[in-house]
């Protein structure tokens, strides 16, 4: 039952989140429409906003109210109740935030804003040395942040940052999943490429005007259930989704005239994030854990599910191809459903993570996971990243990296100081596969629905089982609750083998 202290606590949390939403809007603008000449002053704006938001989130009154509420048995007697879980996560976040000085939070925001602009230029110019000083600054600040948090018992410094994205996550535990997964994926990829017959990628070489791709992408995400009155789709250098506030979810993508599926799947990926954001109970719980996502691993499970389990299915192309042909034309008319299905499931040892196929994608993630752990431990110097990246990439994927633009400069994350973020992508794939098996058991005719462009039952299942709970359950608990099992790599490997072996004639 709500109490006066609990109501005041929720009000203060909402007040802090309100300022955080302004901070998010300013960041979105920087990545979409901000003129380049505004970059220096934008860094000052970002720093100021980050400082104000942090002060609101670490208001001593919040600590007082938390203690009062935690002692109130009407709120906490049932440890599984929404109020008790809300308080648990509020306490976790408050204790973490109060360990960070406002000066460090502001400096992280300022340098991150500056480093992002430096990364854009360095990536375009294929100039890692130009970005290296900014990355060094962000790593130093990230270490300071981790040291303020403190190394978890039995853990490592990386875990302190990983916890921001995957609460309770441990690098060593993730490594025990990633290592055998990487071995099994490498064996699958080798078998497909050595023994199978690769499908033609001819449909992907149709040159399509970006405006038509944008029209088709908007059509697809509307069909998936994204509410355009509560969101929008724009263009950026590195696609992302920002759930800014109730009724305001921003998606971004990028286009090129060839290989239109890169933009399509990038858009569907961000739409998956957007559907999660739109499905969270933000209206009633904005600023509270109950109105926020469980973890980035669960967030990624939503984006990867819509991108891959839906978008790369044959059923999707049964429905989507006629619309694609009508909207985009440009030679797509001569291709059939199976042509698109096979082409979009082609396995390639390619360079760019966000354009990678399902089978090789996780190897890209594992590379980054290993490098950023080494950077944080000071086992790897920033200046040596390109050489180490190229060496490990060739070992993992069997191809030589031609330049840093397609190598260690391709991702925006490190410019923001998002250390600990990358492993959540593979965790998302694992969660998605495990959820997908349960979804298909609960909705037996889902393939038939998808082939007709009917995605409502799938979205409703996700809303009921995942979105509406916010952070009531931690990621592992949610997985166990939904599937009856702990997270495992087996569902993902079953999914890939069932789909890819027939595509390769095996």
The string of pLDDT tens digits covering residues 134-186 is: 999 999 999 999 999 999 999 999 999 999 999 999 999 999 999 999 999 99
Catalytic site residues? 270
E strand or H helix at 233? strand 231-235
For residues 85 and 177, state if they share a domain.
no
Distance from chain centroid for Cα 128: 25
Helix intervals (H) in 347-474: 358-376, 385-397, 413-416, 423-442, 446-451, 456-465
For residues 55 and 200, state if they share a domain.
no
CATH code for the domain of 454: 1.10.1370.30
Q: Is the residue at 279 inside a domain?
A: yes
Of 115, 141, 162, the domain-final residue: 115
Share of the chain above pLDDT 70, in %: 100
Of 115, 137, 163, the domain-final residue: 115
E strand or H helix at 245? strand 241-245
For residues 363 and 458, state if they share a domain.
yes
For residues 381 and 474, state if they share a domain.
yes
Q: Is the residue at 374 inside a domain?
A: yes
Q: Is the residue at 268 inside a domain?
A: yes
The string of pLDDT tens digits covering residues 429-474 is: 999 999 999 999 999 999 999 999 999 999 999 999 999 999 999 9
Q: Is the residue at 438 inside a domain?
A: yes
Q: Which residues contact 387 (CB under 8 A, 6 or more apart)?
A: none
HEC states along 246-314? CCEEEEEECCCCCCHHHHHHHHHHHHHHHHHHHHCCHHHHCCCHHHCCCCHHHHHHHHHHHHHHHCCCH
For residues 107 and 181, state if they share a domain.
no
Global pTM? 0.94
The string of pLDDT tens digits covering residues 218-233 is: 999 999 999 999 999 9
For residues 98 and 204, state if they share a domain.
no
How many domains is the chain partitioned into structurally? 2
For residues 213 and 89, state if they share a domain.
no
Q: Is the residue at 205 inside a domain?
A: yes
Q: Is the residue at 395 inside a domain?
A: yes
Does 1 score more than 80 pLDDT? no
Helix intervals (H) in 196-244: 210-224
Q: Is the residue at 160 inside a domain?
A: no
Of residues 183, 154, 153, 159, the one with CA closest to residue 171: 159
For residues 95 and 31, state if they share a domain.
yes
For residues 82 and 223, state if they share a domain.
no
Per-residue pLDDT at 330: 80
Q: Is the residue at 291 inside a domain?
A: yes
* Alpha carbons 182 and 192: distance in angstroms, whole number: 15
For residues 91 and 178, state if they share a domain.
no
Neighbouring C-alpha atoms within 13 Å toward the C-beta of 299: 25
Of 115, 145, 161, the domain-final residue: 115
- The mean pLDDT of 75-96, rounded to a whole number, is 96
Token duo for residue 53: 């938001």
The domain in which residue 187 lies consists of 171-503
For residues 461 and 315, state if they share a domain.
yes
Strand, helix or coil at 148?
A: helix
How many other β-carbons are positioned within 10 Å of the β-carbon of residue 68? 16
Q: Which of 13-17, 353-357, 435-439 has the lowest mean pLDDT?
A: 353-357
* Alpha carbons 437 and 156: distance in angstroms, whole number: 34
DSSP secondary structure code for residue 229 in this structure? G
For residues 177 and 111, state if they share a domain.
no
């Amino acid at each position: 039952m709500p109490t006066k202290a609990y109501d005041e606590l929720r009000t203060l949390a909402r007040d802090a989140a309100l300022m955080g939403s302004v901070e998010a809007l300013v960041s979105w603008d920087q990545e979409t429409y901000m003129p380049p000449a505004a970059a220096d002053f934008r860094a000052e704006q970002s720093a100021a906003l980050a400082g104000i938001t942090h002060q609101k989130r670490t208001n001593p009154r919040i600590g007082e109210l938390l203690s009062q509420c935690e002692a109130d048995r009407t709120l906490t007697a049932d440890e599984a109740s929404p109020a008790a879980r809300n308080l648990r996560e509020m306490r976790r976040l408050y204790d973490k935030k109060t360990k960070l000085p406002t000066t460090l939070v502001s400096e992280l925001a300022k340098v991150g804003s500056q480093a992002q602009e430096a990364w854009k230029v360095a990536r375009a110019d294929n100039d890692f040395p130009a970005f290296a000083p900014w990355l060094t600054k962000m790593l130093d600040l990230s270490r300071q942040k981790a040291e303020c948090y403190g190394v978890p018992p039995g853990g490592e410094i990386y875990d302190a940052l990983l916890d921001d994205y995957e609460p309770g996550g441990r690098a060593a535990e993730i490594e025990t999943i990633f290592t055998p997964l990487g071995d099994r994926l490498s064996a699958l990829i080798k078998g497909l490429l050595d023994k199978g017959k690769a499908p033609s990628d001819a449909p992907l070489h149709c040159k399509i005007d970006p405006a038509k791709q944008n029209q088709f992408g908007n059509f697809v995400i509307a069909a998936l259930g994204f509410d355009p009155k509560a969101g929008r789709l724009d263009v950026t250098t590195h696609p992302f989704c920002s759930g800014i506030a109730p009724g305001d979810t921003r998606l971004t993508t990028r286009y090129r005239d060839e290989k239109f599926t890169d933009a399509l799947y990038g858009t569907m990926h961000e739409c998956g994030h957007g559907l999660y954001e739109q499905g969270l109970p933000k209206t009633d719980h904005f600023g509270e854990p109950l109105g926020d996502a469980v973890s980035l691993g669960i967030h990624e499970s939503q984006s990867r599910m819509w991108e891959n389990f839906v978008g790369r299915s044959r059923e999707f192309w049964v429905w989507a191809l006629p619309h694609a042909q009508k909207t985009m034309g440009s030679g797509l008319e001569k291709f059939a459903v199976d042509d698109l299905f096979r082409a979009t499931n082609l396995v390639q040892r390619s360079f760019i993570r966000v354009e990678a196929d399902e089978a090789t994608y996780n190897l890209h993630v594992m590379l980054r996971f290993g490098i950023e752990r080494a950077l944080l431990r000071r086992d790897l110097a920033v200046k040596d990243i390109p050489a180490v990246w190229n060496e490990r990439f060739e070992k993992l994927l069997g191809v030589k990296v031609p330049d840093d633009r397609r190598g260690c400069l391709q991702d925006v994350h490190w410019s923001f100081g998002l250390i600990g973020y990358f492993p959540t992508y593979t965790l998302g794939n694992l969660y998605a596969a495990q959820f997908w098996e349960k979804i298909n058991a609960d909705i037996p005719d889902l393939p038939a629905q998808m082939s007709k462009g009917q995605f409502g039952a799938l979205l409703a299942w996700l809303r009921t089982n995942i979105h509406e709970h916010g952070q009531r359950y931690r990621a592992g608990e949610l997985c166990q609750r939904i599937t009856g099992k702990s997270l495992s790599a087996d569902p993902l490997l079953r999914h890939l083998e069932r789909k890819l072996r027939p595509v390769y004639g095996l």
